[in-house]
């Protein structure tokens, strides 16, 4: 299904009536800087719907976008679990954990990993926690444009082995690879 409309609704720091209105929610999560907010813009074909940045920690709220009047896309802050004692990151980790595992709202999750780097320890931990919590999970191999052409097949094959059993979608906001496949998987 094509994305024909996208509207920013609200930035959340916790529970809100919007999460209780019955519209299905799809959460986009991953390490900070992996490209979640860029993906919002790429999927919706809008350059400035979500704010992006070179600096990790750009997104500090759960930003809710209404897509096609039928779904919410939730652009979450990046995770940095226990890697830092800085208050701001601890606060963001709390918000992510609350939404994904304590609130009753989250059923479908798109987990972005960097296709060039592969899944980090945090990514694997997150995947296992999501699986244990019975979430519907799609893993996006993001930024595939960064992989050298000559290395592409080897790298994707390696990732497919590491992430066996998960639905995988190669994606790039630079080249728009994967846009249709991901929209189809999420909205059909």
Residues forming contacts to ligand GTP in the complex (CB under 6 A) are: 30, 32-38, 52-54, 56-59, 77-78, 142-143, 145-146, 172-174
142's contact among ligand GTP, Mg ion, none, with CB below 5 to 8 A by partner kind, is ligand GTP
> Which of positions 43-102 make contact with Mg ion (CB under 5 A)?
58-59
* Cα–Cα distance for residue pair 53/57, rounded to 1 Å: 8
Tokens of 13: 């720091």
Residue 160 CB, nearest approach to ligand GTP (Å)? 19
Q: Which does 38 bind (CB under 5 to 8 A by kind): Mg ion, ligand GTP, none?
A: ligand GTP
- Exposure class string for 110-120: b at 16+ Cβ within 10 A, else e: bbbbbbbeebe
Nearer to Mg ion, 16 or 33 (CB): 33
84, two tokens: 């830092």
- Closest to 71 measured CA to CA, from 34, 117, 18: 18
Q: What is the closest distance, in whole angstroms, from the C-beta atom of residue 160 to Mg ion in the complex?
A: 26
By beta-carbon distance, which residue lies closest to ligand GTP?
78
The Cα 78–Cα 126 span in angstroms is 12
- Give min distance, CB of 59 to Mg ion, in A: 3
Q: Among candidates 31, 59, 37, 32, which has minimal Cα distance to 121? A: 31
Residue closer to ligand GTP by CB (options 30, 67) is 30
Distance CA 54, CA 34 (A): 10
Count of CB atoms situated within 10 Å of the CB of 124 = 14
Q: Nearest distance from residue 74's CB to Mg ion, in Å?
A: 11
How many residues touch Mg ion under the rule CB under 5 A: the total is 4
- Please give the residue ranges that form the binding site for Mg ion (CB under 5 A): 36-37, 58-59
């Amino acid at each position: 299904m094509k994305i024909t409309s996208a509207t920013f609704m609200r930035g959340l720091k916790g529970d809100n009536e919007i999460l209780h209105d019955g519209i299905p929610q799809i959460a986009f999560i991953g390490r900070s800087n992996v490209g979640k907010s860029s993906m919002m813009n790429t999927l919706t074909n809008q350059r400035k719907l979500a704010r992006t940045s070179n600096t990790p920690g750009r997104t500090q709220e759960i930003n809710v976008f209404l897509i096609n009047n039928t779904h919410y896309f939730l652009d979450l802050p990046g995770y940095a679990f226990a890697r830092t004692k800085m208050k701001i990151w601890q606060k963001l980790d709390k918000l992510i954990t609350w939404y994904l595992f304590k609130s009753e709202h989250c059923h479908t999750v798109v987990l972005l990993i960097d296709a060039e780097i592969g899944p980090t320890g945090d990514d694997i931990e997150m995947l296992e926690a999501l699986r244990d919590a019975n979430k519907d999970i799609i893993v996006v191999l993001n930024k595939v444009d960064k992989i050298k052409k000559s290395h592409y097949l080897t790298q994707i094959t390696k990732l497919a082995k590491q992430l066996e059993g998960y639905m995988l979608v190669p994606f790039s906001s630079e080249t728009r690879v994967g846009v249709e496949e991901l929209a189809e998987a999420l909205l059909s």
